[in-house]
Structure 1
Amino acid sequence: MTLIDLANPTRFLAFTARLLPWLVAATAILLAIGLYQSAMAPDDYQQGATVKIMFIHVPNAWLSMFVWGVMTLAALGTLVWRHPLADVAAKTAAPIGAAFTFLALVTG
């Protein structure tokens, strides 16, 4: 399957249905490893344990900005090329971006 074949919504959804369980498992494992490593990091000599907030805040802030950028590109794809998957991507990315923004605001 070439990359251009994934522009067909039917083929794309069939491909993602097969791939999604593997991605969910990999995400859960890597999230658990990352949270463990951030909890076991040594305290900073000046700021103490409060520096560990940056292990959560900074990635959430970066991911929220990235998701808003993805939404911008997806909206551009919807408006310019009227591609149906671009509209789906924008609608799907909105709650993810809102969640990352909320977490960045709460931890910041």
Structure 2
Amino acid sequence: MGDDSRKSDSKSLKLNIKIDDDVAQGVYANLAMVVHGESEFMLDFMFLQPGRKEAKVGSRVILSPLQAKRLLSALADNVNRYERRFGAIPVGANGSKDIIH
């Protein structure tokens, strides 16, 4: 297991995070699906092989609405910082029209 210490928000809460080696390897996904109900958001991360019409879910994450909103904010912040450093991420000619909703 690995350790990761991170500071949280402006309160500077130190959180020791432990991660199993097999989880630390990660799961590659080139497609994600998000659905929600009143009390949770469900994120399915999938790998869609080129030329195939079937994607396999490699990981599912279920979040409370509050955590989903915090994740949205964290992703937006990180994408903005990434683009300032490396340039804009191209989304294709049709923009979000190419995304499955």
TM-score of the two chains, using structure 1 as the length reference: 0.27
Q: Which has the larger radius of gyration?
A: 1
Question: More helix per residue: 1 or 2?
Answer: 1
Tell me: higher relative CO, structure 1 or 2? Use CA pairs within 8 A at least 6 residues apart: 1
Question: More strand per residue: 1 or 2?
Answer: 2
TM-score of the two chains, using structure 2 as the length reference: 0.28
